[in-house]
Amino acid sequence: MEVVHSNQVVRPAAHVEQELETRKVFGAFVLFLFGMSVPYFLMINVRFIMAAGFVPSSADQTTGAIQAVLTLISALTAWAAIRAIRGGNTSAYRVNLGLTLVLGWVSTLMMAWEWWYHPFDAMSHYGETFLTTVGLVAVMNLSGLLTLWASRARAKRLGSDQTLVRGYRLAGMYWIFLAVAALVMYIELYFA
């Protein structure tokens, strides 16, 4: 219960503690995402050092573009899931996260296909960079998909208790980070 004195709102100590704890967790999550971005920056640097702006004509830009678009659409459904769970709507959260998982799996499988059936020399500078970069993005996507799946299962089992919502939101934010990173990697591999 909030008490109003003149022009100030006084919140109970428990509410202030919970808000402080939430800010700590989100601050730590930002540091986590910063740490997760280091491999992506490294891969971009390796690309420019080893292959410069070279992109072979045999590179399958269509598959890469479809994969990037699917990943971006999955980021939008993840954002819709975050908005739903913030509003306490567990069923909408699960539906949107289900769409995110389907789109994420399809884009990750397309990445695996692209990685396995590449039409260029794997021993070239571009080939080495391409295979390493796509492999990195695929592994990161798998970790994100596992996190989303676990969040969806937990929401189904436990609902949207206020203490659980924070974790659900962080799982969605992690996937959005991975979707943006996948788009950057697509641009870096096909248009640099």
User: Tens digits of per-residue pLDDT, 92-149?
Assistant: 999 999 999 999 999 999 998 888 888 888 888 888 888 888 899 999 999 999 999 9
| Positive or negative torsion for Cα 137, 186, 122, 53 | negative
pLDDT of amino acid 147? 92
Which of 6-15, 80-89, 127-136, 152-161 is predicted with the least confidence, judged by mean pLDDT? Answer: 6-15
Q: Answer whether 134's CB lies under 8 Å from 116's CB.
A: no
Dump the DSSP string for 95-117: HHHHHHHHHHHHHHHHHHHHHHT
pLDDT of amino acid 7? 62
189 — pLDDT class (breaks 50, 70, 90): confident
Tracing tokens 């819709």 back to the chain, one arrives at 80
Residue 73 φ/ψ, nearest 5 degrees = -65, -40
Torsion of CA 20, 26, 28, 33, to 10 degrees: -170
Quote the tokens at residue 6.
Answer: 């003149």
Report CA-CA distances (Å) from 142 to 93, 112, 135, 149.
Answer: 20, 11, 11, 10
What predicted TM-score, i.e. pTM, was given to this entire model? 0.82
Give, in words, the CATH class of 38-190.
Answer: mainly alpha
Residue type at position 126: Y
> Which residue ranges make up each domain of the chain?
38-190
Q: How far apart are CA 167 and CA 151, in angstroms?
A: 8
